[in-house]
Structure 1
Amino acid sequence: MATEDGTYVQVEGRPAVRFRRNLRHPAAKVWAAISEPSELKHWFPAAVTIEPQQGGTITFGDDPNVPDRKGEILVYEPPRRLAFTWGASELRFEIEPDGDQRCWLTLIDVLENTDTAARNAAGWHVCLAELDKAINGEPGGGPHADTAERWHPLYEAYVAGGMPSGAPIPGL
């Protein structure tokens, strides 16, 4: 699987972190993993309910590090694009088929503030590792489980690599 660590980018003049993965699964399977609450629970940092349409509501709960909240579905184009607000941030997912049994997944977190880049990149790094486990049928307990990749060393690596940092870290 080709992977890209989180990179700091600008999206429409706003700070963002971007991940790109080439996955050994068809686009429909990856779409289910990023859009269905029963699949999101395996890798996303919060429990999710979703009204699957543009303008619909998405709710987030049970994240031990942030309060429950609601967002808005900005883009809902199965099986290719999903975007929604999460607090003052915006999450964008894009799936591009790469043959019949592969696809590219791009995740962009458009950030509220520049100084959240390293913190959020480390978090999405952990979450995407759990997504890999889930879609490959491997055991995993989600990003908050003891079996998940450790967040803090990833955060330190992103900071050492020059990614903007300094935002408060929930839960610490």
Structure 2
Amino acid sequence: MSVLATIEKQSNYHIATFKRPLLYSIDAVWAAMTNNENLQKWMSNLEIIELRKNGKIHFNMNDGTGTFEEITITDYAEKEVLEFDWGTDTVRFELSSTDDGSLLVVVETLQELTEHTPKDLAGWHICLDMLTDLLNSVEHQYFPMEEWQQRFSEYKKLLNTVK
């Protein structure tokens, strides 16, 4: 059972922070995050096109039409940082070594809290659970909607305490 993200109010935006201690090396986690074959197993909409600062990621609609949105990589340091635009927000993955493996910190900068925010946070939460599962050699055939529903209601409650 993974811990919910923390949400902090800054002057005119909010920061949601997910922390995942992982029993795997930075190399293993980075490969799971950035190798498209692995990436599709925990975040099926994302496809990295150019892995570099100002590079591109496609957010594929996966609806059979081949439609995608292009996302810009806004910050990048190999095996350390991957940050990209997420609508009007940004999502930043930071990876560091620990005695037991590595720590993955995912920070979403939220320009405004909307009805969609708890859905988005629940989605990242489940995707990070799926990333952890993938590292543990467990692959999901389908997105776990029941778990997402549970997290969605938890994030809704959490956000009510933040506003």
- Tell me the TM-score normalised to structure 1 length: 0.80
- The residue aligned with 2:21 is 22
Deviation at 1:148, TM superposition (A): 5.9
Deviation string 1:90-113 (CA, Å, 9 cap, x unpaired) is 1100001003x5000001122242
Q: Does 1:33 align with 2:29?
A: no
| Counterpart amino acid of residue 155 in structure 2 | Y
Which whole-Å CA distance do the structure 2 matches of 1:148 and 1:132 have between them?
17
- The residue aligned with 2:153 is 156
Deviation at 1:150, TM superposition (A): 2.3
Q: How does 1:41-80 map to 2 (within 5 A)?
A: 41-63=40-62, 68-80=68-80
Checking the alignment, whether the CA contact within 8 Å between 1:9 and 1:15 is kept in structure 2 is yes
Which whole-Å CA distance do the structure 2 matches of 1:125 and 1:105 have between them?
13
Deviation at 1:38, TM superposition (A): 1.5
Which whole-Å CA distance do the structure 1 matches of 2:109 and 2:62 have between them?
20
What is the RMSD of the two structures over their aligned residues, measured on CA atoms?
Answer: 2.4
Which whole-Å CA distance do the structure 1 matches of 2:3 and 2:102 have between them?
14
Q: How does 1:61-140 map to 2 (within 5 A)?
A: 61-63=60-62, 68-99=68-99, 102-115=101-114, 116-140=116-140
Percent of aligned pairs with the same amino acid: 24
| Counterpart amino acid of residue 86 in structure 2 | W
Q: Structure 2, unaligned stretches of length 5 or more? A: none
Deviation at 1:58, TM superposition (A): 1.4
| Counterpart amino acid of residue 71 in structure 1 | I
Distance 1:13 1:119, change over 3 A: same
- Spell out structure 1 runs of 4+ moving beyond 6 A: none
| Secondary structure in 1 matching 2:93 | strand
Higher helix share: 2
- Tell me the TM-score normalised to structure 2 length: 0.84
